[in-house]
Amino acid sequence: MSTRVIKFFMSRSFRTFLKHTAKDFHNQSVNPPVVRASTIIFKSMKHLRKTQTKAQKKPTSGHYDYGRQGTSTTYILQKILTKLEESYHVFTTPTGFGSVFLAIFSVVRPGDEILIADPVYSPTRILTQDYLKEFNIKTIFYNPHNLKTLEKNINNKTKLIFVENPGSNSFEFQDLGKIISIAKKNKIISVIDNTWATPYYFKPIKFGFDMSIVSATKYYSGHSDVMGGSLAVNKKVFNKVKRTEKITGLRLGPDDAYLITRGLRTLDVRLDKHSENAKKVAAFLSKNKRIKLLYPNKNDTINFRMWKKYYSGASGLMGLKIKARNINSVRKFVNSLKLFGYGYSWGGFESLVLHQELKETGKRTYMNLAKDEHLVRFHIGLEDSSDLISDIKQALKHLK
């Protein structure tokens, strides 16, 4: 990224930066080129060694000697995201979960303990609770609305506090300020999965977290056609993550980096529309007595207060806790939707729905559904909100 663009960002808004960054003035192109390379070639061995020396002195400068470290295409994306996150550096990975893996494996070792929010993404729970157990790494889950369950489990073996906010599927919003205070007081590294908000609505590194994860598959891409992840870090943990990234080979490819860079141009416009549509859908759903809305709204006092305290906006992902005596009626409700696709992931232009079976949410210590309660997840896309509401309205007739 040119110095000109960086200075421009310092004096202009987030929105303007996204539209003007990554232009390729050398090739007179509004978009950066896609550079694919396994071998990075040099004019001479002297030139190669000089590049290696530069990389050692300035490890975030984009000086590479091998394709696994990246190319100019991946470097451009990293620099854009570093500015958006207001972080020391951003690492990019082939998937969002790759960033989860990179964050955890960079700091924990056999004999260590991890504290994780109970409503974490199910694969993250499996990785930590089951897989890491084989490496003698213990995972303890805390109640997102009772941080005494976090504090009381801290000891000299605790190396990481892992936060996902809001909680996966159940959408609890936590007191992030208190969590950071606890982490700093006990000198424990902190990481947050910030995929729901992205740095458009919340900047974790600036707030005090050591690491921030975003699944670039979701809103960064915005078009459901690419997978990737980002891990923003502060200077304190940079060397740990850099070492792990190099050893594991977790690196985003140039074609995916290009698509994510392209998607970022409209991140603000898309998120504004996702949020606008979601608020209208949420207002409609909140009138239904069978539904408890799992989305920032004043009727949900604790979650609303915690969201309002730390976030500047809300994205398009929400949950519904539906009261229905007959599970088949919930299935009919979901299957009767015409404008919502049935599939995993979210963050793309289209609306999606999932009936969340309990086995899919993962084992939970602090979340229990009543016998007649069922979870449904909506991702509210970029369609006309009145059409989405009409579709949901006709489908609700099936609930019994």
Task: Return the closest-CA partner of residue 314 out of 348, 270, 288, 275.
Answer: 275
Q: Is the pLDDT of residue 260 over 50?
A: yes
* Candidate CATH numbers 3.20.20.30, 3.40.640.10, 1.10.167.10, 3.40.630.30; the one for domain 3-264: 3.40.640.10
Q: Is the pLDDT of residue 359 over 90?
A: no
Q: Is the pLDDT of residue 83 over 60?
A: yes
Q: Is the pLDDT of residue 2 over 50?
A: no
Counting residues of the chain whose pLDDT is more than 90, the rounded percentage is 78
**What is the per-residue pLDDT across 197-255, written as a single tens digit (0 to 9) for each?**
999 999 999 999 999 999 999 999 999 999 999 999 999 999 999 999 999 999 999 99
Looking at residue 32, its pLDDT comes to 86
Other C-beta atoms lying within 10 Å of the C-beta of residue 206: 14
Looking at residue 102, its pLDDT comes to 98
Structural domain boundaries of the chain? 3-264, 267-396
Looking at residue 14, its pLDDT comes to 80
The CA-atom distances, in angstroms, between 352 and each of 20, 137, 378 are 31, 36, 6
Mean pLDDT of the chain: 92
Spell 56-89 as b/e; 16+ CB within 10 A means b: eeeebebbbeebebbbbbbbbbbbbbbbbbebeb
Q: Is the pLDDT of residue 21 over 60?
A: yes
Of these ranges, 5-9, 38-42, 108-112, the one predicted with the greatest mean pLDDT is 108-112
Q: Is the pLDDT of residue 362 over 80?
A: no
Counting residues of the chain whose pLDDT is more than 70, the rounded percentage is 95
Looking at residue 49, its pLDDT comes to 94
11-18, long-range: CB < 8 A, 24+ apart: 14/84, 14/200, 14/268, 15/268, 17/83, 17/84, 18/264, 18/265, 18/266, 18/267, 18/268
Q: Is the pLDDT of residue 300 over 90?
A: no
Question: Is this structure's pTM higher than 0.85?
Answer: yes
Choose the weakest-confidence range: 9-13, 138-142, 200-204, 250-254: 9-13
Give the pLDDT band (50/70/90) at residue 360: low
Give the pLDDT band (50/70/90) at residue 65: confident
Choose the weakest-confidence range: 78-87, 220-229, 277-286, 361-370: 361-370
**Polymer length in residues for the chain:** 400
Choose the weakest-confidence range: 29-38, 261-270, 386-395: 29-38
Higher pLDDT, 154 or 59: 154
Q: From CA 320, how far away is CA 294, in angstroms rounded?
A: 6
* Candidate CATH numbers 1.20.1080.10, 3.40.50.1370, 3.90.1150.10, 3.40.50.2300; the one for domain 267-396: 3.90.1150.10
Strands of 189-193's sheet, edge to edge? Answer: 89-93, 229-233, 211-215, 189-193, 158-164, 113-117, 138-142
Q: Which residues contact 249 (CB under 8 A, 6 or more apart)?
A: 68
Give the pLDDT band (50/70/90) at residue 361: low
Tokens of 134: 């084989």
Looking at residue 29, its pLDDT comes to 80
Spell 162-188 as b/e; 16+ CB within 10 A means b: bbbbbbbbbbbbbbbeebbebbeeeeb
Q: Is the pLDDT of residue 5 over 50?
A: no
Higher pLDDT, 364 or 80: 80
